[in-house]
Amino acid sequence: MSDTLNRISEEGANGSSMMPVIQGVGRAAIEIAALLRGAVFRGALGLAGGENVQGEQQQKLDVLSDEIFLDQMRSTGHVCAVGSEEQEELLVIDEYASAPYLVLVDPLDGSSNLDVDGPVGTIFSVVKRKSASDQRPDVNDTLQAGRDVIAAGYVLYGPATMLVCSVGSGVNGYTYNTNNARFEISHPDIKIPQSGGYYSVNEANSAQWLHGMADTLISVRHTEKLGMRYVGAMVADIHRTLLKGGVFLYPADAKNTTGKLRLLYEAIPMGFLMEQAGGKAHTGEQPVLDVQPEALHQRVPVYLGSCAAVDGLTA
């Protein structure tokens, strides 16, 4: 396992240009992983006292992870702005306001798992700015459909720290080796299994799901012979789905009529990875990557996974 994150530079058209950004994500991941490991000793667990734009209570680790990620994106010199799930507005990096890329991030996904030492993650995607380099980037630069994303991925903080990403030519998984402080390739060319695996959903909501989804799921889980797993942290649930097959879903329900998960921070990056791994990503109405974003914090229903399972739920 000697191949490191540097191999991104050899991958497809976007490989070398994405190197600094993906390396920046790697540095952020190492810092966030260390922060998580030591959080209980530094009093960093628990609520920060504020709410994010979604009206969700922020944990201290949400805020700290967000700061770490932004600092690392700034340090690349290639990122002009960051849209974060934890920030209401787009954060423009003034020193590099003419840089070519914008990054969208959920810095600490699954934060309800923090109190129970469960897995959490970071999700990101990268787009090229639409505005001219002599203009100040703004939110319109971020409102790009998933088909225009040039790189996306996630970091899973589990027993090992893993970075799984794509620059548009397949999906590779890298595991952080604490002995040499490098991300080494451990899961080359990930392809989602097209049969078997698990369905992954918060089934407690099934009575509230819209459009008869509860019955549809019962039928699909029998046809596709799916087991059931749910962590409640999208990164961990998607990671298992990518490696073992099946489907992760968060349907629209009576409370969240347009879905719960965020289009730009969760659905598009994970949809990009799913398609790159040979799977599908759908909202129930259209492929996730075809949705034209209208707002930074927009939500959509999601069905992500093996082709037959996603087709069965969304046809």
Continuous segment of H or E residues that includes residue 184: strand 182-187
DSSP letter at 137? P
Residue 208 burial (C-beta neighbours within 10 Å; 0-12, 13-18, 19+): middle
CA distance 96 to 113: 35
305 touches 197 (CB < 8 A): yes
CA distance 60 to 82: 20
Closest approach, Cβ 110 to ligand AFP, in A, equals 4
Closest approach, Cβ 170 to ligand AFP, in A, equals 24
Is 45 or 92 the residue whose CB approaches ligand AFP more closely?
45
Is 237 or 275 the residue whose CB approaches ligand AFP more closely?
237
Report helix angle 60-76 to 15-38, nearest 10: 150
Closest approach, Cβ 280 to ligand AFP, in A, equals 18
Is 101 or 209 the residue whose CB approaches ligand AFP more closely?
209
Where do contacts with ligand AFP occur on this chain (CB under 6 A)?
56, 109-112, 202, 232-234, 237, 260-261
Is 95 or 115 the residue whose CB approaches ligand AFP more closely?
115
Closest approach, Cβ 311 to ligand AFP, in A, equals 22
Per-residue b or e along 36-68, where b marks 16 or more CB atoms closer than 10 Å to that residue's CB: beebeeeebeeebeeebeeeeebbbbbbbbbeb
Helices (H), 39-137: 60-76
Is 239 or 260 the residue whose CB approaches ligand AFP more closely?
260
Task: Fill in the amino acid letter for 273.
Answer: L
Closest approach, Cβ 158 to ligand AFP, in A, equals 14
CA distance 266 to 35: 22
Closest approach, Cβ 261 to ligand AFP, in A, equals 6
Is 180 or 255 the residue whose CB approaches ligand AFP more closely?
255
